Amino acid sequence: MQTFFLTGCASGMGRHMTTVFLRQGHRVVATDIAEERLEQCSIDEGWDPSRVRLFKLDVTNYDEWQEVFNKAVKEWDGIDVTINFAGLLLSSWVTETPLKEIHSQIDVNVKGTIFGTQISAKHMVERGHGQIINISSIAGVVPVPGLSIYSASKHAVRAYSLSAALELRKKGVYVTVICPATVQTPMLDNQLNVDAAELYFSGLRILTVRDIEKAIVKRALRKKPMEIFIPRFKVKLFQIFALSPRLGPLIAPLYQWAGRMRQSHRRKKQ
């Protein structure tokens, strides 16, 4: 049995993986800024109160991170795995991005991940073992028009995680960054009517939380790699484009067209 510390547990990947880990017999510290919604999730999902602890956590607040993490450590004598699921996706064109959205995406996606990684790493290095899993994105591998701030933030998450992985591995702490293509979550649904999000709908298949589950349970936790791409071929292909930005103007229009078509189709199905 392991003890997991998860963020963003009131919806999407965090909610799903809390349920998965509890069913596997583990203990989970489930956190989210939406405290009431988190408590409702616990009821709806039937989380075992003897093996789950719910805490309100604003991941952009370092002091709050420390306070909640310390409470969790005292509760169960240590954290084995931290997974930073909390994230924010807001689409807009470069010239139209509100200042508030710039700050919020950088604060949640970048600072929230960095805070959680650092605080977890201090605890795990002291214990001599542990693992931290951070969620980046396909947007952290290639630039995505219409998602410039989100893409920048996920590039930062990926770079920080890989740097931390190299630094902490020799101390017994493994860091894995997961870079998935588009995942079906409430966060994605919120972008359905935003034209700037068209590229996020360009794939033939949108991943599910079960795809993330497989990557975490079967690959990240077992093999402890530095990086995981989902799906492997698609993201590795995009890495080629990332190395040659001049290909962007040639390829982007095709993906934008496909994204507009699939986004429009999903809108009609609402």
Q: Supply the residues annotated as catalytic.
A: 150
Dihedral angle of Cα 91, 111, 81, 17, to the nearest 10 degrees: -20
Contacts of 240-246 spanning 24+ positions with Cβ under 8 A: 241/142, 242/141, 242/142, 242/143, 245/143
- List beta partners, residue 229: 179
Instruction: Give whole-number Cα distances, 47 to 25, 34, 127, in Å.
Output: 11, 17, 28
Q: Using CB atoms within 10 A of its CB, is residue 62 exposed (0-12), middle (13-18) or buried (19+)?
A: middle
Using an 8 Å Cβ cutoff, are 41 and 72 in contact?
A: no
Using an 8 Å Cβ cutoff, are 14 and 8 in contact?
A: yes
